[in-house]
Structure 1
Amino acid sequence: MIELRKIGPDEWEIWKHQRLAALMKAPYAFSSKLADWENVSEQRWRDRLSIHGGYQVVASLQGTIVGMAGGILLPEPEVAELISMWVAPSARGRGVGDALVAAVEE
């Protein structure tokens, strides 16, 4: 069963771990580079998770975090933009990506 959990600035280490894994394993999928994020301060991670109108969620399978997604609300009513998403290769094909997108959409 896929478990989703919204996270915020106090859980910056969870986001950091997922984001760095994503940038390392799928650098072609993001506009950011691993070098842009691997040595940033705790405050920078907290700031990323504190974006006004932002929403960050992680997905777990059997208690292990296997993916993350982030979105922001746009000025148009009821419109959000998915700004990042990643699912660990071991969890792909199991509906994790769909669940993450749905969580940001909601």
Structure 2
Amino acid sequence: MIELRVLYEDDWPIWRELRLAALAEAPYAFGSTLSEWQGEGDREERWRARLAMPGSHNVIATIDDRPVGMAAGIPAETADEAELISFWVSPSVRGKGVGEPLRLSWRP
């Protein structure tokens, strides 16, 4: 069963796990690079700050309590819109219906 969960600042280890996996698996799909988030960039305060971004909405999908996808949005210029800035589903579960609930949930 696919479950969705909104992440907050203290959930940074889960976000880190998914974000690094996404950047490694699909580097062409993101504005950031894996190397920017590893080494010196891989700091707890940076991960926390990303999740604490004002107005952001960060959601993960899990199957059997295992994180398998993520979506993140930030407020857009108008109050009734949001901008999807990050979206990824693990290749191990693609085609199993994970993307659609994530897509529908990311808007704040």
Mark yes or no: TM-score above 0.5.
yes
Aligned to 1:101: 103
1:12-51 paired onto structure 2 within 5 Å? 12-39=12-39, 40-51=42-53
Structure 1 portions without partners, runs of 5+: none
The CA RMSD over aligned residues, in Å, is 1.1
Distance 2:100 2:74 in 1: 17
Distance 2:101 2:84 in 1: 13
8 A Cα contact 1:56 1:71, kept in partner: yes
Q: Does 1:69 align with 2:58?
A: no
The normalised TM-score by structure 1 is 0.94
Shift of 1:75: 3.0
Identity of aligned residues (%): 49
Q: How far does the alpha carbon of each residue in 1:6-59 deviate from its partner, in whole angstroms, 9 at most, with x for none?
A: 011101000000000000111111111000001221000000001111010110
Aligned to 1:90: 92
Q: Flag as ranges the 4+ runs of structure 1 deviating above 2 A.
A: none
Distance 2:6 2:101 in 1: 12
Q: Aligned pair count?
A: 106
The normalised TM-score by structure 2 is 0.93
Distance 2:91 2:67 in 1: 12
